[in-house]
Amino acid sequence: MNPYILANKAAWNLLAKDHYLEFKRRYSLKDNLLSPDIIKELGDIRGQSLIHLQCNTGSDTLSLSRLGATVSAVDLAPDNLIYAKKLFDDFKTSGTFYEADLMEFGDTHSQKYDIVFTSEGAIGWLPDFNKWAQTIKKLLKPGGFFYLYEIHPFFLMFDEDAFPNQELNIKYPYFGRQMDRSETIGGYAAQTRQGVSYYWMYSISEVVNALINAGLKIEFINEFDHLCYNAGNMIETKPGEYQFQKWIGKMPLMFSIKATL
């Protein structure tokens, strides 16, 4: 395994229990935790086989199951999968979970699905988008589709430490898939912990072109003015949707893609 991915595996393990507890708490308040954008854009998925890539502790996977899909999921960190199975057991739901590095998963996994799904803070952990897109293609049945709901790379350029002061300072280059090393991990649904992790910046064109080059047909790409978590001093404009007071409706914070095989 790539040494950077090995480090990420150890780092993500550190957050698994916190994520499980937080998502379990959220499910005690609400039946479905998926963003309304996702629910609208996915459409009716009842009876479809679906694989969730980079599932973390299975929170979005559980919501996808509640929309009626037969769910499978894959993640790098073994502790994430232990807690994903626990979350499914807690809510008496069935799902199939695989532990794998997504950069290698497609080499051995031969099952195919109607839908391949990825959401919120996932793809920047992957160093090679061409391999990623080829894996998605391998996992899809003919006529199936890939759906991505992800943080907009425009937003990822800015220094996160300046967000609480409502300042946008460019820190990370948009172009070139530069790798960033961080001493900590966490923040969106868990306490930040000490643990070295590596993240690769991406551009919209790199993501779209990788899917096109793998042979998928882009059905749509959409951009959204809200973020899926509070990055610091943001306001919740709708449940689960966050924006900076200063720039409401003015900047892209999430994007989505649907691509078919």
Ligand X SMILES: C[S@@+](CC[C@H](N)C(=O)[O-])C[C@H]1O[C@@H](n2cnc3c(N)ncnc32)[C@H](O)[C@@H]1O
Residues near ligand X (CB under 6 A) are: 5, 8, 12, 54-56, 59-60, 75-77, 80, 101-103, 119-122, 125-126
Nearer to ligand X, 119 or 256 (CB): 119
We find the least distance from the C-beta atom of residue 245 to ligand X, in angstroms, to be: 25
User: Is the C-alpha dihedral spanning 43, 48, 53, 56 positive or negative?
Assistant: positive
The β-bridge partners of 158 are: 170
Among residues 139, 29, 49, 27, the alpha carbon closest in space to that of 95 is found at 49
CB nearer to ligand X: pick between 167 and 224: 224
| Residue closer to ligand X, measured from CB, 103 or 261 | 103
Shortest Å, Cβ 78 to ligand X: 10
Cβ of residue 18: shortest distance to ligand X, in angstroms? Answer: 12
CA distance 169 to 240: 25
By three-state DSSP, how is residue 10 classified? helix
92: alpha, beta or left? (left if phi > 0; alpha if psi -120 to 50): left
- DSSP character for 111? -
CA 129 remoteness from chain centre: 14
Q: Which is nearer to ligand X, 9 or 243 (CB)?
A: 9
- The nearest distance, CB 60 to ligand X, in angstroms, is 3
The nearest distance, CB 243 to ligand X, in angstroms, is 20
CB-CB neighbours of 227 under 10 Å: 22
Nearer residue to ligand X within complex by CB, 125 or 145: 125
Q: Is 101 exposed, middle or buried (0-12, 13-18, 19+ CB in 10 A)?
A: middle
Smallest distance, ligand X to C-beta of residue 19, A? 7
CB nearer ligand X, residue 19 or residue 211: 19
- What is the spatial distance between Cα 15 and Cα 25, in angstroms, rounded to a whole number? 16
